Amino acid sequence: MDKVYNHKKSERRIYEMWEKSGYFTPKIDKSKKPFTILLPLPNASDPMHMGHALFTIEDILVRWHRMMGDPTLWLPGGDHAGIETQYVFEKHLAKEDQSRFDFDRNTLYKMISEFVEKNKDINRDQMKHLGFSLDWTRYHYSLEPEIVEKVLETFRKLHSDGLIYRGERLVNYCTKCGTAFSDLEIDHVEETGSLYYLNYGSIQIATARPETIFADVAVGVNPTDKRYKNIVGKEAVIPLINRKIPIISDDLVKKDFGTGALKITPAHDPADYEIGQKHKLPIIRSIDLSGRMINVQEKYAGMKILKAREAVLDDLKIAGSLVKIEPLVHTISSCYRCKTTIEPMLMPQWYVKTKPLAEPAIRAVKEGKTKIVPKKRFEKMYFRWMENITDWNISRQIVWGPRIPAWYCLDCNPNIEITFLDKNGGKISRKYTELKGRYTFAEIKGGLQSLTAPVESEYSLNDKAGQKRPDACIQCEKCGGKNILQETDTFDTWFLSGQWPVTTLGYPDSEDFKYFYPTSVLDTLWDILFFWVARMIMFGLYLTGNVPFKVTHMHARVVDEKGQKMSKSKGNVINPIEMADKYGVDAVRMTLIYGVSQGSDVSVSDDKIRAMRNFANKIWNIGRYILGSFDRAGYKSYEDVPLYSPDMEGLTKEDKAIVKDLKKLIKSVTENLKKFRFDFASEEIYQFIWHRFADEYLEYSKERAGNGDKACLSILFHVYKNCLKLLHPFMPFVTEEIWGQIPKAEKDPLIISKWPK
């Protein structure tokens, strides 16, 4: 053995040997029970971060089961990542003084696709770098035609079963990203702003959003508020536009906020929308999808929200309608991608009725068909979300992703609003009834950016015709016309990834699906327990009648040494690839596992990784010492020393004690792996190797080993080889490298050696 373990010299060579030898690819053996894990699919075009390095947990399970002799599949994949990928691409466009609005949707889609294709192998190569023993022969990408087609089939099945509908509701809309988000996809940020007191004639109101007064339809007070008992049912007057609106009472109005009187703006506030629905109030929009003012006086039209706020406040002061301004500490919603303030926006969207899907998913966990680990903390979270589930908005107003397979006849739905680039590159946004006759259908379709169909619009799912033939060949079943456009909304990314276990395994007819489904374990971060885990359970049960995995393990979150979440803005990001190059992959992997209790945070620092590099060196040096003992004893061949057996001659009480302790270690590590206690298992191995074996037994054995005591040398090899096996799932490279250089009865590489009993 070399004097020093050189990870750079070993890692690539060893991984190529594993992969080329087919050790990652299981064979279907119906006489054996398989062990299956699906990789939580990372963004196909993004570099890996330290959180992705926690795939180490899955690799530990996979390597352990492979050594146990189970047909073991770890199936990799990459996610097109919808809004996240488009957001990154738009930042590239911005550097060139361009935006998504400069291109028709087909051109933009192709540009993003080319961008992704250039970067698609980044994290695949990085996962190989980190030693992940994934079956690359079964790799899948979320936009593969076969996967997309199965996703569309699920949509059509849901629609046929009455679980899909279009609804016009207030949604969380990012005017910069240009799409709606679910409640769970937005950040809530505390902000110090202002509370503006305005004179509405017969009553004073307080608001944080004076720019939306043009969309007010009522003033609300609490029915128990004695101050306003005598004016409920009378009228208030909106300043600047002098429009009269009713004063109503509703329990949702808080008496202790501001004046206790609330301007009701259903189009731009969730609570106001609820009040408006209850009282059958009209809905007026004053902000469009680009965040500009509409349906307002001409001087404000087209202004961005904050600029309009300043202009409205100036005019309210002049009119004497601004009574006072107070500081206001409140929580606002912001886009999790670009941090733009979310605008509540009333718009038609596609929804899935989730309660019929959630009920069997709740029962599956209660009945133990799927176990959540750790149970105590995360089962409660799962049930809380699922029992209070609301219908799922699956519409996203972006280009990157599969379009919802619905088609609109423009002649039957003339009020559809269409945005497109004309033949001169000019952006046009009008209702079809205004475009018809001025532009050809071919020009509209060729330059199409987006369409917004009123919620009552008629549409056709057209079965599979829209996917098999050009739109121009489709005829409207009602009028026979051919001016038909497909919905421009794309699916929420989670709609695709929620079907990942069934789509990647080839549901319903493939041999892989029949053998490997349901999968054994899903390991992921707890923050997507609802986004991904719950939806996979719902879809798995809906499509197959069976849960997609038997156990879902919630792993820890990676933080810096101060316990703070890693982020580029904080400057505390630690790159796993850089650390692996510096200290070795094994050191990075062990750092992420050692001493980390279930569901807690993983603190990562340069010092901690360096300490685990020292442990890798310790393991190497133990091997050098044992092999060197042969030379010091004058043996010319390793065969001069017999393999250990419990009844061999010359065993001392110290020999028997270390073997007994090894047996305890094997049993304990195996039990802890069964319980997903990777922290206990790694600590036990570490402590045994460094202290019990190296500090105690090796020190005791030096004189005997140096004198060529065969029983002693046999014990050294026996304990050392079993330690390498136990450690292999955690630190695969250094253990495999040593395994190839020491005498042993097994000829196979360590990766497929038998787990010690």
Which of 426, 430, 416, 421 minimizes the C-alpha distance to 483? 416
How is residue 202 annotated by DSSP?
S
Amino acid 710: pLDDT? 93
User: Is a pLDDT exceeding 80 seen at residue 735?
Assistant: yes
Residue 327's CB: how many other CB atoms inside 10 A? 8
Average confidence (pLDDT) over 249-276: 94
Amino acid 603: pLDDT? 84
pLDDT, tens digit (0-9, with 9 covering 90-100), for 365-380: 999 999 999 998 899 9
Distances 721 to 120, 738, 741 between C-alpha atoms, Å: 39, 9, 11
Sorted by where each starts, the structural domains of the chain and their CATH numbers stand as 32-163+353-402+491-555 (3.40.50.620), 179-345 (3.90.740.10), 405-488 (no CATH), 586-752 (1.10.730.10)
Distances 330 to 274, 310, 534, 575 between C-alpha atoms, Å: 20, 19, 31, 36
Average confidence (pLDDT) over 654-675: 97
Average confidence (pLDDT) over 327-352: 88
Contacts 24+ apart (CB under 8 A), 183-186: 183/390, 184/530, 184/531, 185/336, 185/531, 186/333, 186/334, 186/335, 186/336, 186/342
User: Is a pLDDT exceeding 70 seen at residue 472?
Assistant: no
Which of 137, 40, 142 minimizes the C-alpha distance to 519? 40
In sequence order, which residues have a C-beta less than 8 Å from that of residue 86 and are 6 or more positions away?
100, 112, 177, 398, 399, 400
pLDDT bucket at 465, cuts 50 / 70 / 90: very low
In sequence order, which residues have a C-beta less than 8 Å from that of residue 368 and are 6 or more positions away?
none
CB 667 within 8 A of CB 621: no
pLDDT, tens digit (0-9, with 9 covering 90-100), for 557-597: 888 777 777 665 566 778 899 999 999 999 999 999 998 87
User: Is a pLDDT exceeding 90 seen at residue 527?
Assistant: no
Contacts 24+ apart (CB under 8 A), 629-635: 629/705, 629/706, 629/713, 629/716, 630/713, 632/705, 632/706, 633/705, 633/706, 633/707, 633/708, 633/713, 634/708, 635/708
Q: Which two tokens stand for residue 386?
A: 């699922």
CB 718 within 8 A of CB 746: no
User: Is a pLDDT exceeding 60 seen at residue 303?
Assistant: yes
Residue with tokens 């590159």: 425
In sequence order, which residues have a C-beta less than 8 Å from that of residue 158 and are 6 or more positions away?
164, 352, 542
The kind and range of the H/E element at 145 are helix 145-160
User: Is a pLDDT exceeding 50 seen at residue 476?
Assistant: yes
Q: Which two tokens stand for residue 122?
A: 């980044």
In sequence order, which residues have a C-beta less than 8 Å from that of residue 249 and are 6 or more positions away?
220, 221, 222, 223, 225, 228, 232
